[in-house]
């Protein structure tokens, strides 16, 4: 690997609170170490369209509190092709860029790894930015804490109206492949049931649990459904329950993209800053095809291949047990 002189940074895939603190850390750490920095707009699409601009310390002023990403983001189908990657590579080389920091989730890392293998003269370091908290190699991913707090705030407000009307609310949260948001928000809000992709809960079992709650004189019930639950969509689950649980007025709320927005929490601001700082330092040290992550409050490196292929990441056993016991 040749000596670094100029790096680029991009955000790709779904946005996550904390991306802006990470961009800020990447830019200022690189400049401190004598590197030039280029910002890439619209993720991999910006590499293909040559939509890039030089960044300085003032480029990232006053962005710590902002949700979303100042670099914008997009999903880019052309980057999956050899022709798209070749064009991206030529644009990077024309600007003298020899390092690339990519902030995103598994789709982002898949593209980064394939690109790096095809063009190994450009160092690539990944930063896990996804609210789903589902990448191997980091206990927490960027945006997860903020998204969970956003869900908790929304559920607390829904609980107020549920109590006032003796209602049963089914609330769908994000998590196609991971129930991390659903589990933590459910325990934090005292949900009567939490339906997760990692644990198949039969509709019949849910109905028994809700009827038990009625018998115990509960004035309202909240059921949190991760969007990846194996019983299907939240509306189908609510309809099946409505046939058997008669005394509740049943309502459905899908929180949707509300979970992606908002000012990042203190945790995500610090995490984004730590990961951005570590990404640049890893690249200066000659690392490539690596992801920076947080484990036991320490920054660690995991290969992009491991981050994408290892499936040892799982929800905490004690939280799974608490889900069953504390909702009684």
Per DSSP, what are the bridge partners of residue 40?
52
Active site residue 49: no
Helix axes 144-165, 266-284, angle to 10 degrees: 160
Return phi, psi of residue 173, to 5°: -120, 165
User: CA-CA distances (angstroms) from residue 304 to 12, 47, 77, 168, 280?
Assistant: 15, 20, 20, 43, 16
Q: In what order do the strands lie in the sheet with 249-254?
A: 193-195, 221-226, 167-173, 249-254
User: CA-CA distances (angstroms) from residue 125 to 147, 288, 292?
Assistant: 24, 6, 7
What number of CA atoms fall less than 13 Å from residue 67's CA on the CB side? Answer: 21
* Spatial separation of the C-alpha atoms in residues 133 and 267, rounded to whole Å: 14
Among the listed residues 132, 134, 145, 229, the single catalytic one is: 132
Instruction: Give the three-class secondary structure for 24.
Output: helix
The distance between the two most distant Cα atoms of the chain, rounded to a whole number of Å, is: 70
Instruction: Give the three-class secondary structure for 194.
Output: strand
8 Å CB contact between 1 and 288: yes
DSSP code for 328: -
- Return the closest-CA partner of residue 220 out of 186, 251, 175, 265: 251
* Spatial separation of the C-alpha atoms in residues 293 and 278, rounded to whole Å: 9
* Spatial separation of the C-alpha atoms in residues 313 and 70, rounded to whole Å: 30
Instruction: Show which residues are catalytic.
Output: 132
């Amino acid at each position: 690997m040749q000596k670094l002189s100029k790096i680029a940074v991009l955000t790709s895939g779904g946005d996550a609170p904390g991306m802006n603190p990470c961009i800020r850390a990447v830019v200022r750490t690189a400049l401190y170490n004598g590197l030039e920095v280029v910002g890439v707009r619209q993720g991999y699409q910006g590499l293909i369209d040559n939509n890039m601009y030089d960044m300085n310390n003032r480029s990232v002023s006053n962005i710590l509190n902002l949700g979303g990403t100042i670099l914008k983001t997009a999903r880019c189908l052309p980057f999956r092709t050899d022709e798209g990657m070749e064009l991206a590579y030529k644009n990077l080389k024309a600007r003298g860029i020899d390092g690339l920091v990519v902030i995103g989730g598994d789709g982002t890392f898949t593209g980064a790894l394939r690109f790096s293998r095809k063009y190994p003269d450009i160092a690539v370091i990944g930063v896990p930015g996804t609210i789903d908290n589902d990448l191997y190699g980091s206990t927490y991913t960027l945006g997860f804490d903020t998204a969970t707090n956003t869900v908790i705030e929304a559920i607390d407000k829904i609980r107020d109206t549920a109590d006032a009307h003796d209602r049963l609310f089914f609330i769908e949260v994000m998590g196609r492949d991971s129930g991390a948001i659903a589990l933590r928000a459910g325990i934090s809000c005292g949900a009567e049931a939490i339906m997760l992709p990692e644990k198949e809960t039969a509709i019949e079992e849910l109905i028994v649990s809700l009827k038990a709650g009625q018998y115990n004189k509960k004035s309202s019930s909240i059921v949190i459904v991760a969007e990846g639950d194996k019983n299907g969509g939240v509306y189908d689950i609510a309809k099946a329950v409505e046939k058997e649980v008669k005394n509740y007025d049943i309502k459905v709320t899908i929180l949707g993209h509300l979970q992606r927005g908002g000012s990042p929490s203190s945790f995500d601001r610090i995490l984004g800053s730590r990961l951005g700082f570590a990404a640049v330092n890893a690249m200066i040290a000659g690392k490539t095809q690596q992801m920076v992550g947080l484990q036991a409050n320490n920054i660690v490196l995991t290969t992009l291949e491991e981050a994408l292929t290892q499936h040892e990441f799982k929800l905490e056993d004690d939280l799974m047990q608490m889900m069953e016991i504390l909702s009684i």
